[in-house]
């Protein structure tokens, strides 16, 4: 089996790398805080001290980090993956990042006979834990076909979208839909409470009808329990919305729903909730002052 390197073992990356270990792949891991990889090391993963070490020892390298600046440093820096990966290897960025950066990485990697795929995911911590992520892939189609068996160990909806950057553009579509949808979910729950209804009973009626959504079924119950632990961080969602707004502006596309959501999430972060889950938007809308 191919030796897999995994860089970034946070809320989602930890589960994703764990599925590959369970499937029998030799896995090497690197993360800035080694303690975050301890569970994976106990499962049999091999520790690497630097991304460069991962690059030299692995056939397939997956990254799941925080921000586009992290992606650029890990891939295109002097000590980065593109400079040190083996010819014929595969680089897969599963971070939600800039489509334009994905295209740049794809071009630069191809010059060294390395295949680069952008493969962001949707499904949050639950999807990562249960290996039921939706994975959106951009890059060379033959590279996608070679790596698809690895993707299927982490997700159940794996779709090739097209050339480099297409996976990231698809993820922007996903985030745009979630952004406005989350406002609706929060407003519906708050309306039920103000009307004197039992919100849990309301959910039984509306989550299986036309209003149904992943956020309504999975995140509204967390709101009602006061559980705002991150499946996906507010600060990372703000990063995604910023990328989407910039891309939309380049294309001359008006996105009023996304613009409003970004404003509300910025205000939520100013309330000290940047490390909460995205469903903490409930707190911002409940705080009408």
Q: Give yes or no: 263 in active site.
A: no
Sign of the CA dihedral running 270, 287, 236, 173: negative
Q: Which residues are bridge partners to 117 per DSSP?
A: 92
Closest CA to 144 of 123, 168, 118: 118
Give the active site residue among 14, 52, 171, 239. 171
Do residues 103 and 165 make contact, with C-beta atoms less than 8 angstroms apart? yes
Secondary structure element (H or E) that encloses residue 142, with its range: helix 141-151
Residues 6+ apart with CB under 8 A from 250: none
Dist. CA 70–CA 203, nearest whole Å: 39
3-class SS of residue 118: strand
Do residues 163 and 186 make contact, with C-beta atoms less than 8 angstroms apart? no
Active site positions, annotated:
171
């Amino acid at each position: 089996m191919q030796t897999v390197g995994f860089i970034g073992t946070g809320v989602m990356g930890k589960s994703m790398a764990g599925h590959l270990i369970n499937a029998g792949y030799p896995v090497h891991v690197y993360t800035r805080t080694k303690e975050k990889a301890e569970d994976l090391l106990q499962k049999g993963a091999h520790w690497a001290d630097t991304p460069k070490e991962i690059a030299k020892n692995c056939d397939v390298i997956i990254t799941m980090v925080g921000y586009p600046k992290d992606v650029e440093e890990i891939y295109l820096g002097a000590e980065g993956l593109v400079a040190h990966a083996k010819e014929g290897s595969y680089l897969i960025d599963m971070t939600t990042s800039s489509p334009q950066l994905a295209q740049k990485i794809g071009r630069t990697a191809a010059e060294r006979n390395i295949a680069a795929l952008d493969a962001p995911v949707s499904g949050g911590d639950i999807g990562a834990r249960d290996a039921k992520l939706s994975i959106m892939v951009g890059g060379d189609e033959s590279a996608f076909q070679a790596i698809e068996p690895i993707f299927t160990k982490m997700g159940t909806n794996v779709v090739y979208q097209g050339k480099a950057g297409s996976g990231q553009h698809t993820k922007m579509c996903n985030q745009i839909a979630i952004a406005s949808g989350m406002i609706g979910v929060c407003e519906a729950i708050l309306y039920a409470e103000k009307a004197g209804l039992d919100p849990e009973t309301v959910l039984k009626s509306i989550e299986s009808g036309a209003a149904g959504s992943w956020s309504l079924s999975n995140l509204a119950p967390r709101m009602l329990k006061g559980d705002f632990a991150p499946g996906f961080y507010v600060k990372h969602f703000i990063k995604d919305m910023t990328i989407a707004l910039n891309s939309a502006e380049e294309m001359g596309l008006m996105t009023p729903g996304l613009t409003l959501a970004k404003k509300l999430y910025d205000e939520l972060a100013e309330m000290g909730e940047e490390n909460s889950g995205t469903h903490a938007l409930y707190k911002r809308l409940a705080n009408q002052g």
